[in-house]
Amino acid sequence: MRAVSLLIGSLVAVLAAPQDPPAGPARTSEDVTVDGSQVWTTTKIELKPGERLIFAASGSLRCPGQQDDNGPNGLNRGYRDLLRNLPFNNAGRGALIGRIGEADVAQPFLIGAARDLVTASAGPLSVGVNHTESDLCTGTYSVRVHVYPPAAGVQLVVAKEVRALSGVDQELFKKIPRRIGDSQGNPGDMVNFVLLASEAAMQEAFTAAGWVKVDADVRGALLSGVLGSLSKESYVTMPMSQLYLFGRPQDYGWAHAEPIKVVSTRHHLRVWKAPFQAGGAMLWVGAATHDIGFERDQRNNGITHKIDPDVDLERDYLRKTFVATGLVTEYMHLLPDDALREAKTATGGSFHSDGQVLVLKLVEKP
């Protein structure tokens, strides 16, 4: 019997391509001219999970403040631009980059002068230049991309929306509080998602979806900032306060990568390992919110982050980022009997919801 390989996601939902050349002709090809003054250029290509992409690029750009032109591989990032808000902070300024899927959740990846990869997600392909929207770079890149069908023997993992999952029912949600709280017991954010996954699978999925672990305190944040500077990587996280569920602070904090210059806005969440399982699977319970600015903390008259009052938008944002990785097998929504629809956070801000909780079942590697 022919061996079957399992296609699962990796960082930014693209995988290394096989070493062998494609077995047959390309499904489609396109030549794209990328204007250096624009960040993103949309191609005519719609991709399917498992398809192989082969890129070749040439040309040069010059961005403001540069002494020399750069090619598609970009320039090495120096200390002066560590905090520059680039679409893909792990690549050089001016590098050729790509993304697959919806613009608000698709994770950029490096193309450079040449790239051969397999996509784990579906959606429109865009190519772009790794610079800020205010950079008016001059010059163009010429990009040729060939798209090949999925290789034989590849089993695609495509998230399926279902109406029921083993062990996920009203009895389970009777054991899960509707809200998390602060150290004084004040009720706070709504529990709006759960994950069925091992700890390793949970961490891999968050990383693949473009979420980064958040420092637990200010001292940790400062240390990470120093280490990030030494490695010439942008510092993308701000510390997250401790909130409580199941009688303890969060086990993990995650934020969707945004540079430090955007300190007033951030997609972030907290996750706790539940002291019980669901259908024999490890269960993680979380609360996801979107910081959109600042407001007065009604407990102490201080300043705190203001969350988007429509918390369902962040729940849906989390789903989109996870589904795009190829690491979700099934997902559903459940409306608890005592669903929370409107309330105030621990700091006094209000929020509203349709009450449904997102349930994601993740891929488990052998």
The per-residue pLDDT string of the chain (366 residues; one tens digit each, 9 = 90 and over) reads 333 333 333 344 677 777 788 989 999 999 999 999 999 999 999 998 889 999 999 999 999 888 899 999 999 876 666 667 788 888 899 999 999 998 888 889 999 999 999 998 889 999 999 998 888 899 999 999 999 999 887 666 789 999 999 999 999 999 999 999 988 888 989 999 999 999 999 999 999 888 888 865 544 444 444 444 433 334 445 677 889 999 999 999 998 855 444 455 678 899 999 999 999 999 999 999 877 565 555 556 555 566 688 899 999 999 999 998 889 999 999 999 999 999 887 667 788 999 999 999 999 988
Residues 185, 344 contacting (CB under 8 angstroms): no
Q: How do residues 2-50 score in pLDDT, each as one tens digit?
A: 333 333 333 446 777 777 889 899 999 999 999 999 999 999 999 988 8
What pLDDT is recorded for position 326?
A: 86
User: What b-and-e string marks burial along 72-97, b requiring 16 or more CB atoms within 10 Å of the CB?
Assistant: bbbbebeeebbbbbbbbbbbbbbbbb
pTM: 0.78
What is the rounded distance in angstroms from the CA atom of residue 22 to the CA atom of residue 151? 8
Supply φ then ψ for residue 223, to 5 degrees: -65, -45
Q: Which sequence spans correspond to the domains of the chain?
A: 5-156, 160-362
Query: How many Cα atoms are found within 13 Å in the side-chain-facing hemisphere of 206?
Result: 25
CATH architecture for the domain at 5-156: Sandwich (2.60)
